[in-house]
Amino acid sequence: MLVLADVHAYYGESHVLQGISLAVEQGQIVSLLGRNGVGKTTTLRTIMGLVPARTGQILYKGQSLVGLPPHRIARLGIQLVPEHRGIFPALTVRENLQVGAAHPSDPQRARHNAARVFAYFPVLRERLHQKGGSLSGGEQQQLTIARALMAGPELLLLDEPCEGLAPLVVRTLLQAIRDIRADGTTVLLVEQNVRAALQVADSHYVMDKGRIIGKFSAEALQADEELRTRFLGVSARL
Amino acid sequence: MEAIAVQALQGLTFGTTLFLVAAGLSIIWGLMNILNFTHGTLYALGAYLGLVVFGLTGGNFWAALLAAFVSVAGVGAALEIVALRRLFGRDPLYYFLLTFGLTFVLTEILRLIWGDDFLGLPVPAALEGSLHVGIIFPLYRLFVIGVSGAVALGVWLLLTRTNFGLLLRAGTQNPEMVSVLGTNIQTIYTLGFALGSGLAGLAGVLVAPLTGLSPQMGVDLLLQAFIVVIIGGLGSFRGAAVASLLVGEIYAFGIRIAPSFSMLLIYAAMILVLLIKPSGLFVEGAGREA
């Protein structure tokens, strides 16, 4: 569904992505793991068109995304849920969701999702008329995922959704991610929280210093202590 | 008592028209982070275009208002597409230089076409005369208050009740997210700039019968509109409304009490607000980066 081939990207002079190649199959949850600052967020932002890919190919359903502006990429069916959430703080929860629904990539999927978001995230229904900025961190995270789903994406890029959230909220989010996939949305998940990623993802790419180290199953990651210690900073089995 | 009522109405006339100018300035500032110096010149352009249409239609003031709004909105959209867009993502200083320079160019164009002399736009025949109910107040000024109020209400409904208004408010808070969610933010910028410009053009026609027309007619008003935006809070529609009326009344009563200090009173109000609440009375663009 999504293929990156030897993608290079820069922030100013700094060479952040140094040849990223990865593939996400339709219907999968794929995680992208690695320490802080290795380029995981940049990878997602490059797919979304927020950071230009200097060289390399990004293909979505066979179509090149390189050079397209973010709104065009969104309308092809990709949604990015950014790390720091990016809610509209002065808009109500309902209005935040309406911005997501303004130009859906697939109106039928968007309608289907609109009916489902309150099943994934019941708390949003209670907060419907509150300002986005008044929500707790966990609620804001749920709002950004719900808002992205309102656009009817087929591929959801999630950037550290579990960061800084209480275990109970993390559990809610992980269940929602499983449900979202079960309802037919493919997920590429960037996580620092390796334990969380292992619980939901089907396969795992490990990144280091702007490059992909390899693709691993959960079992392979569990078995390889050196890999975990060196690239993920966790030595214990998870 | 009567004098106070008349002065309050004078303040309201000035305040409501000031609001039309300030609201546009605030929308553009909040949405695009541009301090638009051409705004005062677009206001003057609206007045001149209104004058032309008023003449062509044999004195149809409504047509003059509508034509000024539409054509100045069009000029605003063109400015955004042709000039401002090229500076996207650069230091705000470039926008300052560009809009400042464009002001000179546009003012010279007005001067070339219509000359330096004051021109007059007559008060529409139906609105000549005064209202006599305890106080004596010119009908046309009441008309100005009514039209400005109605337009303000219309803009408020546009911002709060329509999809475009929603996307414009969202863009004020986080433009990147608006585009990630599938909306072309560039289109929102163009339309927002056009809306703000159109409001300035409309205000130009409304005020012209009261002040007369000159190429520099927007200079003082632009300064006052900046002050309104600072007092009201960057990008806040409500803030611009409250601050416009406040500045209008301060100015009107200031002129009565101490004519040479009326502008000074407005500055004092601004400084007071800046000291107490530096972000302005209302803040709605909160959360926006940089």
A200-215 residue pLDDT tens: 999 999 999 999 999 9
Give contacts of B173 with chain A, Cβ < 8 Å: 88-91
Dist CA B13 CA B140 (whole Å)? 10
Q: Which of residues 130-169 of B touch A (CB under 8 A)?
A: 163, 166-167, 169
Burial of B171 (0-12, 13-18, 19+ CB in 10 A): buried
Spatial CB neighbours of B212, under 8 Å, sequence gap ≥ 6: B118, B119, B120, B121
A95/B163 Cβ within 8 A: no
Instruction: Pick A69's closest partner by Cβ from B169, B179, B285.
Output: B179
Percentage with pLDDT > 90 across chain A: 86
Binning pLDDT at 50, 70 and 90, where does residue A106 land? very high
Dist CA A162 CA A183 (whole Å)? 21
Phi-psi region of A10 (alpha: psi -120 to 50; beta: other; left: phi over 0): beta
Dist CA A96 CA B69 (whole Å)? 31
Whether residue A71 lies within 8 A of chain B, CB to CB, comes out as yes
CA distance A2 to chain B (A): 17
Give contacts of B177 with chain A, Cβ < 8 Å: 82, 86-88, 99
CA distance A92 to chain B (A): 11
In this predicted structure, what is the pLDDT of residue B286?
A: 46
- Determine the number of helices (DSSP H) and then strands (DSSP E) in chain A: 10, 10
Whether residue A186 lies within 8 A of chain B, CB to CB, comes out as no
A50/B182 Cβ within 8 A: no
Whether residue B265 lies within 8 A of chain A, CB to CB, comes out as no
Instruction: Pick B182's closest partner by Cβ from A87, A98, A151.
Output: A151
Dist CA A213 CA A195 (whole Å)? 19
In this predicted structure, what is the pLDDT of residue A187?
A: 98
Instruction: Pick A71's closest partner by Cβ from B173, B182, B286.
Output: B182
B163/A102 Cβ within 8 A: yes
Q: Which residue of A has its CA nearest to B282?
A: A90
Q: Let me know how long chain B is.
A: 290
Beta bridge partners of B119: B213
In this predicted structure, what is the pLDDT of residue B38?
A: 96
Q: Among A49, A40, A48, A43, which Cα is nearest to A8's?
A: A43
Binning pLDDT at 50, 70 and 90, where does residue A175 land? very high
Dist CA B240 CA B220 (whole Å)? 17
Q: DSSP 3-state assignment of A13? A: coil
Instruction: Pick A99's closest partner by Cβ from B167, B184, B285.
Output: B167
In this predicted structure, what is the pLDDT of residue B288?
A: 39
A105/B170 Cβ within 8 A: no
| Per-residue pLDDT tens digits for A10-68 | 998 899 999 999 999 999 999 999 998 999 999 999 999 999 999 999 999 999 999 99
**Chain A interface, mutation test: which of B180, B234, B237, B238, most A Cβ atoms within 10 Å?**
B180
- Sheet containing A63-64: which strands, arranged edge to edge? A14-24, A2-11, A53-60, A63-64
Half-sphere exposure for A89 (CA within 13 Å, toward CB): 15
In this predicted structure, what is the pLDDT of residue B284?
A: 59
Angle value at C-alpha A87, between A199 and A194, nearest 5 degrees: 20
Instruction: Pick B166's closest partner by Cβ from A80, A98, A148.
Output: A98
Average predicted confidence (pLDDT) for chain A: 94
Give, for all 290 residues of chain B, the pLDDT tens digit: 788 999 999 999 999 999 999 999 999 998 998 889 999 999 999 999 999 999 999 999 999 999 999 999 999 999 999 999 998 878 888 999 999 999 999 999 999 999 999 999 999 988 998 888 888 899 999 999 999 999 999 999 999 999 999 999 999 999 999 999 999 999 999 999 999 999 999 999 999 999 999 999 999 899 999 999 999 988 888 999 999 999 999 999 998 888 888 889 999 999 999 999 988 888 754 443 32
Whether residue A100 lies within 8 A of chain B, CB to CB, comes out as yes
Whether residue A129 lies within 8 A of chain B, CB to CB, comes out as no
Whether residue B192 lies within 8 A of chain A, CB to CB, comes out as no
H/E segment holding residue B272:
helix B262-276
B177/A86 Cβ within 8 A: yes
Burial of A197 (0-12, 13-18, 19+ CB in 10 A): buried
Dist CA B122 CA B103 (whole Å)? 27
